[in-house]
Structure 1
């Protein structure tokens, strides 16, 4: 009798242990699946798998930063550490206790599991040409995103922003290198499984480090905003809207092709040194994007080229660059190239520029090649 009782007790204990293991498994498994269905365009793949390779467990988890640590890092979010403001909210520069410098985006918001799941997915994405999302904070009715801090700021600030330094020129070869880095960042997002469409790519979201390596910021930010833009100054709204592809403006249809369109507008700003919503300085009432969409030949290329480039580029390289830009901003999304094709074309142009041009200020062979675009200067 005692043996039968012991067996019954042992069996019951085993069943309870098995049930506990199932509950623990479901508790940790189900939130991950909810994140997939919300983030994925296809709803078919685990976000912890990139290119068919499982990520280490620790890289899947977004770090939770206590509010008190972030307040200390920013001197209680003092204006002296305020470095900007975007769709998500104010951006602060912070110095963590371990010496790490971070960028902290802050907005009012109640804690939600959706916010955590989206941050958890986005912080698992790592690439040399993407700004890394390090973690988050949800306390005191505040939501915060913590990113790595990129020291040299945005490309827009170097081209036409308040921080522009006139005697620090971005020569054509450097701009090509920046374009290639940004293209690789976007291409990586498009290669993920599930695919991730940036949805808010613009020049201000291309940052450069101290060696001018390009890093794309803002990936997935529109998902965190729920697709709603925060109203801002009219000029900023106009500047942001011009990066949106026609199918996005008309139907709200985001895709890899709409990212390519946005990248084309970025290329226009990169070569012109001005914001794309501004008019072409040629007497025509035509915006830069309109100029590119109605581009027919190279006879008026010089009207949009940044004067700070001087003549340190080749005619062939510049024409190829303009032609690629025109392809990216095609009205028809199907006619736009893929980001991998864009990378291949930019690589080819840079290779030719490196082999055919001289270092700025050395010799005049470059001037002779580029002067074909500037007949008035002969």
Structure 2
């Protein structure tokens, strides 16, 4: 009997718990506002069959609240073989139900908040991952489409640089700007924004929507063909000593080129005054650094495959940024320029920089650029414009004087800027000899790579004289002199 009772008792308790859980679930779903009352609710006991087939007799009860739609469990009675001594579950107090409901509500609230936080964290992580992926894809695209050309030091090897391989036709850096943005940048091409004129046309200083200051060249007559193709090809060329082409625009009425703005203007602004006479702003170290930077820019153009010849190199096309780094401008448009009449402020200046051995513009070669660079060196060392107002005839130009004085060693001293110090004369004489070699017969002219190497040797020799580079030269913003 005790064995049977030991078996029946756990089973009875288990069955009662099942009934209790079922009734409790039903009561919990129908529980409304009655749980908030503080007084004891009246209730009636209704017999609830449990539908259990067992030797024992099991009765389950539930309560009905006559004043509400909710049901509250009041008690459960069970008998086993007529034995009423079996413990039965006591009625559940309303306070206990309230506490259980509050706990479940608090648990549900905490769970909901935790789930919301988890969703927010997942969304943030997904967003960050997407942004990083987008940034990586954009950087990969930019590195593939706008791969910078190797520097001059790398280009000095025999391996030439294939322009078409580095930057195919469809991959370019220059932006195709809208005419609306360019009009806003120049205040509808206001005359007060004109800062100069060159072979391409008038040059305006402008402010783009992104806040960058630019120089905008505008041509409104004699429009050239293949403009977009040439612009895209040029925009693939990158070097620290070349002025960067930022954007372009073309329609049936005009063609525009947008370049980076260089605050210190062209080199001529720092060498001579309006009459072409020396003003002594630059010491020899600064002049040598400018010559070295310009030579590296030209050497990079010549190292491309096929070589890109400048065709219009001169002092006014070498610009200085805020740190006086020289940058060569107006490169790459020789093909376009041959389609129109070359317009410049002074035809005599063009003649002085133009290679006398050049029979026609179509025959322009790298050696012709070397000749123009030699004239640039003469201006840089003498501090004088190649042909200035004090010269009565064209034959008195600086090139003619240099060739005449080259036969006399003492005559070279007269070509050196009088504002330079005595300790600078030795390096200046070496630069004059290099300039004379550049303007000699074409077969004797050095390559731009050899010119760079010679200028670097001169720089190393005079470096002890400039242990502390002169920083007294202030940065002069000459925006009104851009591209003149």
- The answer on 1:218 being equivalent to 2:330 is yes
Question: Separation in 1 of the partners of 2:469 and 2:200?
Answer: 40
Question: Separation in 2 of the partners of 1:239 and 1:110?
Answer: 23
**CA separation of 1:159/1:250 partners in 2, compared to 1, >3 Å: closer, same or farther?**
same
**CA separation of 1:163/1:188 partners in 2, compared to 1, >3 Å: closer, same or farther?**
farther
- The answer on 1:48 being equivalent to 2:157 is no
**CA separation of 1:150/1:163 partners in 2, compared to 1, >3 Å: closer, same or farther?**
farther
Aligned match for 1:307, one of 418, 423, 438: 418
**CA separation of 1:110/1:231 partners in 2, compared to 1, >3 Å: closer, same or farther?**
closer
Question: Separation in 2 of the partners of 1:252 and 1:292?
Answer: 28
2:429 maps to what in 1? 319
Is the partner of 1:289 in helix, strand or coil?
helix
Aligned residues: 307
1:5-154 matches, cutoff 5 A? 47-49=163-165, 54-55=166-167, 60-109=172-221, 114-139=226-251, 141-154=253-266
- The answer on 1:255 being equivalent to 2:383 is no
Aligned match for 1:198, one of 310, 313, 317: 310
Conservation of the 8 A alpha-carbon contact between 1:111 and 1:139: no
| Cα deviations by residue, 1:243-265 (Å, 9 ceiling, x for unpaired) | 01112256752111000000000
1:270 maps to what in 2? 380
Question: Separation in 2 of the partners of 1:168 and 1:345?
Answer: 24
Is the partner of 2:299 in helix, strand or coil?
helix
1:336 maps to what in 2? 445
**CA separation of 1:347/1:92 partners in 2, compared to 1, >3 Å: closer, same or farther?**
same
More divergent stretch after superposition (218-227 vs 343-352): 218-227
- The answer on 1:350 being equivalent to 2:459 is yes
Question: Separation in 1 of the partners of 2:365 and 2:412?
Answer: 30
**CA separation of 1:129/1:59 partners in 2, compared to 1, >3 Å: closer, same or farther?**
farther
1:175 maps to what in 2? 287
1:27 maps to what in 2? none
How far does residue 159 in structure 1 lie from its aligned partner after superposition?
A: 1.2
**CA separation of 1:163/1:69 partners in 2, compared to 1, >3 Å: closer, same or farther?**
farther
RMSD of aligned Cα (Å): 2.9
Question: Separation in 2 of the partners of 1:71 and 1:142?
Answer: 13
How far does residue 357 in structure 1 lie from its aligned partner after superposition?
A: 5.4
Conservation of the 8 A alpha-carbon contact between 1:298 and 1:319: no
How far does residue 162 in structure 1 lie from its aligned partner after superposition?
A: 4.4
| Cα deviations by residue, 1:195-234 (Å, 9 ceiling, x for unpaired) | 100000000000000110000001023322225443455x
1:13 maps to what in 2? none
Bigger-Rg structure (1/2) = 2
Unaligned runs of 5+ in 1: 1-43, 362-378
Question: Separation in 2 of the partners of 1:240 and 1:61?
Answer: 31
Unaligned runs of 5+ in 2: 1-159, 471-484
**CA separation of 1:124/1:287 partners in 2, compared to 1, >3 Å: closer, same or farther?**
same
2:57 maps to what in 1? none
| Cα deviations by residue, 1:147-170 (Å, 9 ceiling, x for unpaired) | 111111000121124499998720
Aligned match for 1:239, one of 340, 345, 349: 349
Conservation of the 8 A alpha-carbon contact between 1:137 and 1:143: yes
Conservation of the 8 A alpha-carbon contact between 1:280 and 1:288: no
| Cα deviations by residue, 1:274-311 (Å, 9 ceiling, x for unpaired) | 11134999xxx743212323412421222222222243
| Cα deviations by residue, 1:88-122 (Å, 9 ceiling, x for unpaired) | 11001111111111110001158776011011101
Conservation of the 8 A alpha-carbon contact between 2:173 and 2:246: no
